Amino acid sequence: MIFEKLEDQTNFTNSEKSIAEYILKNPFSLVGITASQLGQLTMTSKATVFRFCKKVGVKSFDELKQQVQYESHEKERVKNFMKKEPFDQSSTMRDVTGNLPFFYDSAIISTNAMMDNVQLNRIIKNLRDAQIIDFYGVGITHSCATAAVFKFQTTGKTCAAYSFLNEHYAVSQKHKKKVSIMLSFTGGNQGIVNCAKKLKKLGMYLIGIGGLESTELKDCCNEYIEIYQEDLVTSFEVMTPYISMTYILDILFAGLLVKDFNRHFQDSMEVRELLKRR
């Protein structure tokens, strides 16, 4: 997410900090100027602007402008929605059906803005190479895991959902190409953290999906995808991380699906033919 990098300013030079501060204060004005003009406005240079683009992870100034514009609009959209509770004592069913889609929308938009495509490509490669994909979750995250199993199985992978670790099973599978996906809203569920620590000792490839209230789970994983759970609406505090986690799992599923799209398309056609014969 570009705005997080602009606000963090880690390893930025003074010139780069000037560019970052200008964009943060004037995000919507960026679309109408050139790299040279931004250099003049920030008392830097065109070359510094191009170096700045590389540092924040974009390939060109045009891509920077597009990303800033997109994130600015989405931040405003989420900010406006999150100004108040979606419902209160006087809410009608019309209010519920009218406002709830925006609640889902804001959680998904915010999650999407946090995604790192380079990281996602690494994860998809490992998922594609895996023979087995195991999901671990406790309570509501176990329901996320169970739903994910059904989807990922359609790609031809052997999948299962667990709420605890079967050590004998884990040891028996350690020489197979296996990925374990660990789920925790806080990032610190002790049951999941303990599973992750044991799986890590066995050399398993671990993908964590969860929050950062604790870094215990993240510290155990090869890759960690943070869920969105900032600025939670009080009466719906469980829904936001649930929607975010489900969406991330769907991204991984879709990414895995498109890597072998033609094969999966043929499988789907065969399924259709089987259903017609009933």
Q: Please name the CATH architecture into which domain 117-266 falls.
A: 3-Layer(aba) Sandwich (3.40)
| Span(s) in the chain for CATH 3.40.50.10490 | 117-266
**CATH class of the region 2-84:** mainly alpha
Check residue 270 and give its pLDDT.
Answer: 72
Q: Where are the beta strands (DSSP E) in 148-268?
A: 158-162, 178-184, 205-210, 223-226
Mean pLDDT, residues 16-40: 92
Higher pLDDT, 154 or 83: 154
pLDDT, the chain, mean? 89
Virtual CA dihedral for 219, 224, 227, 228, nearest 10 degrees? 90
- Name the token pair of 113: 């803005």
Q: Are 155 and 200 in contact (CB under 8 A)?
A: no
Mean pLDDT, residues 198-221: 96
Range picked from 77-86, 169-178, 208-217 for highest mean pLDDT? 208-217
CA distances from 266 to 124, 131, 251, 269 (A): 21, 20, 21, 5
d(CA 16, CA 67): 17
pLDDT band at 96 (very low <50, low <70, confident <90, very high): confident
CA distances from 132 to 15, 128, 153 (A): 49, 10, 10
* pLDDT value at 232 more than 60: no
Mean pLDDT, residues 80-103: 75
pLDDT tens-place string over residues 32-90: 899 999 999 999 999 999 999 999 999 999 999 999 988 888 777 666 655 556 677 78
Higher pLDDT, 266 or 143: 143
* pLDDT value at 274 more than 60: yes
